[in-house]
Amino acid sequence: MSLTIFWTFAFAAVLLAGLGVKFWLATRQIRHVARHRASVPAAFQATVSLPSHQKAADYTIVKARVGLLEMAWGAAVLLGWTLLGGLHALNQLLLDWLGAGMAQQLALVVAFVAIGGLLELPFSLYQTFVVEERFGFNKMTWRLWIADTLKGLVVGALIGLPAVWLILWLMGAAGTLWWLWAWGAWMALNLLLLVLYPTVIAPLFNKFKPLEDETLRARVTALMQRCGFAAKGLFVMDGSKRSAHANAYFTGFGAAKRVVFFDTLLAKLSPGEVDAVLAHELGHFKHRHITKRIVGLFAFSLLGFAVLGFLATQPWFYTGLGVAPNLTGANDALALLLFLLAVPVFSFFVSPLGALLSRRHEFQADAFAVAQTGPQDLRTALLKLYEDNAATLTPDPLFVKFYYSHPPATERLARMAAGAAA
């Protein structure tokens, strides 16, 4: 068996296996949530109403069913790009029009991204304007959606095109170790975006104003000082103009770090509960979770660029995925796009390890928050946030292990109770 045939069968087999596992997990989740819809779990009967519990169940089930269709469509699109020859046809079309060269390679990447975005658009619109609307979460208007889309396209072009050009140029000009130089450039861009995002990019989409509640500001400042954390500022974001979901987050890097509260969060939580949520986020910094994730990103991206550096020189990598390499021009854009299409297929089966690590980090951050503010405020804040976001209290345990980056409410509250008892 030639390497081309082996690679084709390996890709198809792993794709089908992954799709089968995803469908199995999704249907497990739907059945499990539906079975427990009729009654609130005993641990929450005093704090969560039956209508809220049923809303969360219905929301979870609807999203999972839409997700099933999206998975099937995504797999069909992936096969269309690869084994059915879509990427090959697009590449040949642009070669005939532009000829070989950097312009054709950039055009290939841009066309691929544009077509992919259009193919995913119906699901995005349905999720926002049908599912989120049905459950009372969507605050987005069509005018705002169009404005966000246009801004996103401009920002993506201003950042993405130079980055892609640089990587493609390095692939062709930096010799056999081009992947090492490209990795360095990619990491530098990511670090730069950590600095630019909170001050330049995010304000293009949302309004940020300083936290004006002096009492809450004093509480939050005192908490950060106790935890040894310094931020550039405390801000409130107008998240309510897009969604009824509530959140809070840290953003930025180095001197550009800032704390951002959704206005919806401040409207729903008491000052003590806001302290607890903030203390949880501070716990991530105290345990260096952000730094560890950045280091992990550096390591995995280095491995990815090294693998791409090898695969880009192998004819079977192209032909096994339905693409004939260019004979008279560079294949760098083809290699990059095929790699981006193939990686998710093979990485799916190791993704539970990342989810497991993330859940451990959440438990550690919860423990830090409890030590700083006590368990009661964090408990009530979490219950309000779970209810506000219609997060089911009864997810399928196996689905949780594969997908959940945050532990379910039952596990988080049980862990807090065990810590308090100890």
284 is in an annotated binding site: yes
C-alpha 313/C-alpha 335 separation (Å) is 9
287 is in an annotated binding site: no
362 is in an annotated binding site: yes
SS3 358: helix
369-405 tens-digit pLDDT: 888 888 888 888 888 888 778 789 999 999 999 999 9
Please report which confidence band the pLDDT of residue 279 belongs to, taking 50, 70 and 90 as the band edges: confident
Considering 45-49, 65-69, 326-330, 391-395, the range whose residues carry the highest mean pLDDT is 65-69
Please report which confidence band the pLDDT of residue 256 belongs to, taking 50, 70 and 90 as the band edges: low
Q: What is the mean pLDDT of residues 73-102?
A: 94
The catalytic position among 132, 273, 275, 281 is 281
pTM: 0.88
**Could you confirm whether 281 is annotated as catalytic?**
yes
Nearest one of 390, 353, 281 to 57, comparing CA atoms: 390
The catalytic position among 366, 387, 388, 396 is 366
SS3 138: strand
**The pLDDT value given to residue 391:** 85
**The pLDDT value given to residue 338:** 96
C-alpha 347/C-alpha 278 separation (Å) is 33
Q: What is the mean pLDDT of residues 354-381?
A: 89
Q: Is the model's pLDDT at 253 over the cut of 70?
A: no
Please report which confidence band the pLDDT of residue 219 belongs to, taking 50, 70 and 90 as the band edges: confident
Nearest one of 370, 216, 217 to 282, comparing CA atoms: 370
Q: What is the mean pLDDT of residues 353-374?
A: 90
C-alpha 341/C-alpha 324 separation (Å) is 16
**Could you confirm whether 388 is annotated as catalytic?**
no
Please report which confidence band the pLDDT of residue 94 belongs to, taking 50, 70 and 90 as the band edges: very high
Q: What percent of the chain shows pLDDT beyond 90?
A: 52
SS3 209: strand
Spell out the SS3 assignment of 232-301. Answer: CCEEEECHHHCECCCCEEEECCHHHCEEEEEHHHHHHCCHHHHHHHHHHHHHHHHCCHHHHHHHHHHHHH
The upper half-sphere exposure of residue 5, i.e. CA atoms within 13 Å in the direction of its Cβ, equals 2
